Amino acid sequence: MSDLDTHRAALAPLLVKHAKAGILNLIDGQSLPARSGATFATHSPVDDSFIADVARSDAADIDAAAKAAKKAFPAWAALGGEARKKLLHKIADLIVERADEIALCECWDTGQAYKFMSKAALRGADNFRFFADMAPAARDGQSLPTPTHMNVTSRAPMGPVGVITPWNTPFMLSTWKIAPALAAGCTVVHKPAEFSPLTARLLAEICHEAGLPAGVLNLVNGMGEDAGRSLTEHPDIKAIAFVGETKTGSAIMKQGADTLKRVHFELGGKNPVVVFDDADLDRALDAAIFMIYSLNGERCTSSSRLLVQKSIAANFQAKLIERVNKIKVGHPLDPKTEVGPLIHKTHLDKVMSYFDVAKAEGATIAAGGARHGEQGCFVQPTLFTNATRGMAIAQEEIFGPVLTVIPFEDEAEALSIANDVAYGLAGYLWTNDITRALRFSNAMEAGMIWVNSENVRHLPTPFGGVKASGIGRDGGHWSFDFYMEQKNIAIALGTHKITQLGMG
Ligand code: NAD
């Protein structure tokens, strides 16, 4: 039996279970259909086969979930950090136990390759462990004394919060948002993307099984424009942590205005990888390829623009073309597959529409540039060369396995091209000149910069973007700053003179 067949066989009973049960909400500890009874079908991007009917929730379901989260909040917030730590570690243990089930479901539901999803499931467990360990110190503050007052700061959880997630690596991203919220003492209503509901359901089940009290994590499935919108407008929900498209972030900001929602946005990117001629070019090549073609290019931090110095461009490009042509596109459950199908047909059409755009703009399609096969949402890994900075392929987030190469003359030109986009999430820089690396990194408009490296996350560091790529930061205490309120208590020492009024 091949590895692919083994994975298929392991997935089959899981799919039967999901098809039979449907993907239900989890509200106040209860698995429930949408109150209206409405459902929508979810299909696999591998072959368009039916997976399950999913609860199509609306404002009434969101209201029930928000009320459950509100009811559960005082006890959850009052529970000590040590107790929350224990529970969150238990969740991580159960994720590890079910990591293969999560990976298989994620592959089938999203088209992401098993090669990466098996690691992403474990990353989800790491996210829980990391924030579990931070839970006991979540409320800690500072002592800021003056000669007249003792100032004591502390943090308190905000209340019930909403988490809205996208379809790319949805399990890992959900844990990245939900784990710190729970560790901080907030209760959560999670609205996952309509295109990838399977693993959100698994996460809710796992949390429930680990002993998370009813109402602490609620799952409400549905469409962005009804369930998502209602969550952002609900008066009991104090904050919205959102990961998704820039234009959706903008809509959420408007929707949340009347209830003064605190928002945290992780949005789109058009991230540059800048390769200077003094770099370790073999490592730069590996990293540039990994950062755009892994995860099907459906990755916010993908290096979708390659800025390469003219003196090495021809050679670097030739090697790139050779490698891109060898990337293995295939069934996501095959462990050898490097690129699987895109999330759905509309997205496939969007990605492929850029092939015509590129040609019309005068760029060259140096590799790929067509659909892969007849069935499913597969596309060839694609490389555009002879591009210039103003082209749509150099400006817009394509969100697929598509790389645009733009040559540059010198540092000044590279910086100007790197910053000449609406986005500012990540930047990658390849040079062995340390002074240039520092100078360039300081000037690059991005929230995160990796020098001589692909994206390697260290969880205590801040994650997030500038410009149209987001508002706020995740990671370490930055996550707690979002999910918690700061309070200062000033205690007078009884020594200062109070200004007296009404003394005549
Ligand atoms: P999307 O914005 O279409 O959807 C994301 C979520 O928002 C879904 O759950 C959707 O149902 C919901 N939604 C849609 N309209 C809504 C509304 N009006 N009110 C409330 N909720 C609404 O994004 P997507 O297509 O699922 O994901 C891809 C995008 O996510 C890309 O742009 C990508 O760059 C971005 N992303 C960013 C990061 C980051 O860290 N910056 C990480 C992953 C993905």
Burial zone of 242 (CB within 10 Å; 0-12 exposed, 13-18 middle, 19+ buried): buried
Closest CA to 166 of 61, 108, 242, 56: 242
Contact 131, 157 (CB under 8 A): no
Q: Could you report the per-residue pLDDT of 56-92, keeping only the tens digit for each? A: 999 999 999 999 999 999 999 999 999 999 999 999 9
- Looking at residue 1, its pLDDT comes to 87
| Atom 15 of ligand 1, nearest CA residue | 224
Q: What is the CA radius of gyration of the chain?
A: 24
Half-sphere exposure of 340 (CA within 13 A, CB side): 29
Where does residue 226 rank: exposed (0-12), middle (13-18), buried (19+ CB within 10 A)? middle
Domain map (residue ranges) of the chain: 3-38+48-267+469-488, 272-451
Catalytic residue list: 266, 300
Residue written as tokens 């149209």?
A: 468
pLDDT at 150: 97
Mutation choice for ligand 1 from 176, 195, 245, 455, CB with most ligand atoms inside 8 A: 245
Indicate the SS3 state at residue 165: coil
CA distances from 60 to 55, 65, 368, 400 (A): 12, 9, 47, 36
Ligand 1: centre distance to CA 492 (Å)? 48
CA dist 471 and 347 (Å) reads 25
**Percentage of the chain with pLDDT > 70?**
100
H-assigned helices in 420-470: 434-443
pLDDT at 221: 98
pLDDT digits (tens, 9 = 90+) for 419-478: 999 999 999 999 999 999 999 999 999 999 999 999 999 999 999 999 999 999 999 999
Q: Which residues of the chain have pLDDT under 70?
A: none
Mutational test site, ligand 1, from 177, 247, 300, 346, max ligand atoms within 8 Å of CB: 300
Contact by Cβ (8 Å): 321, 293: no
Is the pTM higher than 0.75? The answer reads yes
Nearest CA owner, ligand 1 atom 35: 244
3-state SS class at 173: helix
CB 202, CB 105: distance < 8 Å: yes
- The class level of CATH for 3-38+48-267+469-488 reads alpha beta
Angle at 295 between CA 359 and CA 207, to 5 degrees: 145
Q: What one-character DSSP code corresponds to residue 379?
A: B
Q: Measured from the CA of 300, which atom of ligand 1 is nearest?
A: 34
Residue 489 has what pLDDT?
98
Q: Counting atoms of ligand 1 from 1, which one is nearest the CA of 193?
A: 9
Q: Whose CA is nearest to atom 34 of ligand 1?
A: 268
* Nearest alpha carbon to residue 95 among 130, 67, 65: 130
Taking the centre of ligand 1 as the mean of its atom positions, its distance from the CA of residue 182, in whole angstroms, is: 22
Can you say whether the dihedral through the CA atoms of 389, 395, 398, 399 is positive or negative? positive
User: The domain 272-451 belongs to what CATH superfamily?
Assistant: Aldehyde Dehydrogenase; Chain A, domain 2 (3.40.309.10)
**What whole-number distance in Å separates Cα of residue 351 and Cα of residue 336?**
24
Within 10 angstroms of residue 442's Cβ, the number of other Cβ atoms is 8
Show the beta-strand stretches assigned E in 169-226.
Answer: 187-191, 217-219
Which residues are near ligand 1 (CB < 6 Å)?
A: 164-168, 173, 191-194, 224-225, 228-229, 232, 243-245, 248, 251-252, 255, 266-269, 300, 397, 399, 425, 465, 469-470
Say how far apart CA 166 and CA 101 lie, in whole Å. Answer: 20
